[in-house]
């Protein structure tokens, strides 16, 4: 090939290379125009002192302008040579690709940011709208307003009222049979230094009513610490429930943590726990009355005792931050100082004192309510009839007293008879007669409370006394003596269903009988029976069992108008027993004229002049002197 031909080929290749470079430069310029826009690109080129080079037809000057624009560096002044241009363009293309990638990412981020800002804006507008609605009209909707109207309509419907509310005592003077308990409770509450009190007694005799009325009476006394607005807060120990995690405690109060239970919305949204005060704070400055306090959970009782000592309830929560400026002042105060709980506790129970927690008893004075007598029941019946506008015949009041010794039950029977008479007569009744009352009692399937006891005197038969709850019971004890089946191997038989302690009473009676009679008891078989299998699980039947065995052995009848109680020592001394007031009351209800009581129980005797006659005995010799016909 000639030199001329080679030159032509070389020149053609050079032009193609220059054309390719020109295309690359033009393409890069178009990309920049798309990125910045024509006007902004001109302004940018002028700022970087590259506008003149960008408009030049010289490939090298245009490449220099692209360098300044893409690298954002006006200090680049060296004009590239022909050989440098390809390498520079490659570098600029890489930089331009990075720029486009950044631009794309920035656009996506800006789009997401704009969307998120729009969502926030809409949520903000929605909150503002709800707040305005709440301020203007509250959270009410047509549905909530409809439910409110329904409740309002229901409130307009009232029954005439509960008959039990009508007959309930309205003053202390109307309370029957509890003068001693009222006086004692008034002394405890009306003192300048009131005491916590436990009230003992059978159900339905007025413990709750007396406590409420005593507080009202105490408010009117000058020395009383109770203000006129002092509250009487009632609770029931059988229904007081609480969560050991302190999530809920209606008695003492609890903390509503924002995560588990949710405090009020404005607190929960800020993660602020909200303490909720309980009944002890509601009773601050007044009386907290807990019925059936013996049924309370033991742990809850201990927590209550702590409040009685501190006179405050303490709150705690891991979510409470004392340095949080968003916490309301009342929440700070409750967490830092606790809630006030300075009140007088009055607990009522139908349990025996030994069944109540010693820690609770040690902090409280104790008052015992007396069981009601038939005369008390008759007064209650007449007063209930008066409040209902009824004339109650004396025979009706007496009939009711034969079937119940609970005031509440007696009033319920009067109300039932009132309703029955109203239904029968078709008009408001004014007289309560025997026929209506007999129908009510028959329908209620009641049994007489006064025992019917055969009083025929015969050897081996005596009457002992026992206690069931707060009521005294008369227990018939009989004994029979026979020659021993095996000579010299006499035995004692008794019904052990009467209680495990009966065996000890029989053992002591055996020793005393041998001492008193001087007989060889191994020649006899003794049969001791507690009629009906009544539970005398305690040592107080010792004297009665001894007298029954003595009477059977000597074939000597004993007085049938005398009831016996007392523990028997091996020496023959009569030792003191418990439940003396209840036993005396039970003997009186059964019609006994005399009761033999251990001399050491003289401080337990009730202050009454009514029957039965009380005889103090020291030894079995005294007992035998009193029961012999």
The residues annotated as belonging to the active site are 540, 583
User: Which residue stretches of 137-206 are H helix?
Assistant: 142-155, 163-167, 179-189
- What count of residues does the chain have? 629
Structure tokens at 46: 């002028």
Structure tokens at 496: 């052990």
**Per-residue CA distances from 403 to 169, 213, 456, 589 (Å):** 22, 28, 25, 12
Output the DSSP codes for 50-97. -HHHHT-S-HHHHHHHHHHHHHT-TT--PPPPTTHHHHHHHHHHHHHH
DSSP code for 457: -
DSSP code for 139: T
Which residues lie closer than 8 Å to 586 by C-beta, 6 or more apart?
Answer: 465, 467, 471, 472, 473, 474
Which residues lie closer than 8 Å to 33 by C-beta, 6 or more apart?
Answer: 41
Helix (H) or strand (E) holding 234: strand 232-236
Distance CA 197, CA 189 (A): 9
Helix (H) or strand (E) holding 123: helix 84-136
481 closest CA partner among 572, 560, 550: 550
Output the DSSP codes for 270-335. TT--EEEE-HHHHTTTSEEEEETGGGS-HHHHHHHHHHHHHSEE----TT--TT-TTS-HHHHHHH
Let me know: does 35 contact 28? Beta carbons within 8 Å.
no
Residue 611 neighbours by CB distance under 10 Å: 14
**Four-residue CA torsion sign, 358, 363, 364, 366:** positive
Lookup result for tokens 């990638």: 101
32 closest CA partner among 20, 47, 42: 42
614 closest CA partner among 509, 453, 465, 460: 465
Q: Is the peptide bond before 612 cis (omega within 30 degrees of 0)?
A: yes
Check residue 469 and give left, alpha or beta (phi > 0: left; psi -120 to 50: alpha).
left
Which residues lie closer than 8 Å to 504 by C-beta, 6 or more apart?
Answer: 539
User: What is the 3 state secondary structure string of 216-231?
Assistant: HHHCCCCCCCCCCCCC
Distance CA 234, CA 309 (A): 20
User: Which residue stretches of 497-579 are H helix?
Assistant: 501-517, 542-554
Let me know: does 18 contact 83? Beta carbons within 8 Å.
no
């Amino acid at each position: 090939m000639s030199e001329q031909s080679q030159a032509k080929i070389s020149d053609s290749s050079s032009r193609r290379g220059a054309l390719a470079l020109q295309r690359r430069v033009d393409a890069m310029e178009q990309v920049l125009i798309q990125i910045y826009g024509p006007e902004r690109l001109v302004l940018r080129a002028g700022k970087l002192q590259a506008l003149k080079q960008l408009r030049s037809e010289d490939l090298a000057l245009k490449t220099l302008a692209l360098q300044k624009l893409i690298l954002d560096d006006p200090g680049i002044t060296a004009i590239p040579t022909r050989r440098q241009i390809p390498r520079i363009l490659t570098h600029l293309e890489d930089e331009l690709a990075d720029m486009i990638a950044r631009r794309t990412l920035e656009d996506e981020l800006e789009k997401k940011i704009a969307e998120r800002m729009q969502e926030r804006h809409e949520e903000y507008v929605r909150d503002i709208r709800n707040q305005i609605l709440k301020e203007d009209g509250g959270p009410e909707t047509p549905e909530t307003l409809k439910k409110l109207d329904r409740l309002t309509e229901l409130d307009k419907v009232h029954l005439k009222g509960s008959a039990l509310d009508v007959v309930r005592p309205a003053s202390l003077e109307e309370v029957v049979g509890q003068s001693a308990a009222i006086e004692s409770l008034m002394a405890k509450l009306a003192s300048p230094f009131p005491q916590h009190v436990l009230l003992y007694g059978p159900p339905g005799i007025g413990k709750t009513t007396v406590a409420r009325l005593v507080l009202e009476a105490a408010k009117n006394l000058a020395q009383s610490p109770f203000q006129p607005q002092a509250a009487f807060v009632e609770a029931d120990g059988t229904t007081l429930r609480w969560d050991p995690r302190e999530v809920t405690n209606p008695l003492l109060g609890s903390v509503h943590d924002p995560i588990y239970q949710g405090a009020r919305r404005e607190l929960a949204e800020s993660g602020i726990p909200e303490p909720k005060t309980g009944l002890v704070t509601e009773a601050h400055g007044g009386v907290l009355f807990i019925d059936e306090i013996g049924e309370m959970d033991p742990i809850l009782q201990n927590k209550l005792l702590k409040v009685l000592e501190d006179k405050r309830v303490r709150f705690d929560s891991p979510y409470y931050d004392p340095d949080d400026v968003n916490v309301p002042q009342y929440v700070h105060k409750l967490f830092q100082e606790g809630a006030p709980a300075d009140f007088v506790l009055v607990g009522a129970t139908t349990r025996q004192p030994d069944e109540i927690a010693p820690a609770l008893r040690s902090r409280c004075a104790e008052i015992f309510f007396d069981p009601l007598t038939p005369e008390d029941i008759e007064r209650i019946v007449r007063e209930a009839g008066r409040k209902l506008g009824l004339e109650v015949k004396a025979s009706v009041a007496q009939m009711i007293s034969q079937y119940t010794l609970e005031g509440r039950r007696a009033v319920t029977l009067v109300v039932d008879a009132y309703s029955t008479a109203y239904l029968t007569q078709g008009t408001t009744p004014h007289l309560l007669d025997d026929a209506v009352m007999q129908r009510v009692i028959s329908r209620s399937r009641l049994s007489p409370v006064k025992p019917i006891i055969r009083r025929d005197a015969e050897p081996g038969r005596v009457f002992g006394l026992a206690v069931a709850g707060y009521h005294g019971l008369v227990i018939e004890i009989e004994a029979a003596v026979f020659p021993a089946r095996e000579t010299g191997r006499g035995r004692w038989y008794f019904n052990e269903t009467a209680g495990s302690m009966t065996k000890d009473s029989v053992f002591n009676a055996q020793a005393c009988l041998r001492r008193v009679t001087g007989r060889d008891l191994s020649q006899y078989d003794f049969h001791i029976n507690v009629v009906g299998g009544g539970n005398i699980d305690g040592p107080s039947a010792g004297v009665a069992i001894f007298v029954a065995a003595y009477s059977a052995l000597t074939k000597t009848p004993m007085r049938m108008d005398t009831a016996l109680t007392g523990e028997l020592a091996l020496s023959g001394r009569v030792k003191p027993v418990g439940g003396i007031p209840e036993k005396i009351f039970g003997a009186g209800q059964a019609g006994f004229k005399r009761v033999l009581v251990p001399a050491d129980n003289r401080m337990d005797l009730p202050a009454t002049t009514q029957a039965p006659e009380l005889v103090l005995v020291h030894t079995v010799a005294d007992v035998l002197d009193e029961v012999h016909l």
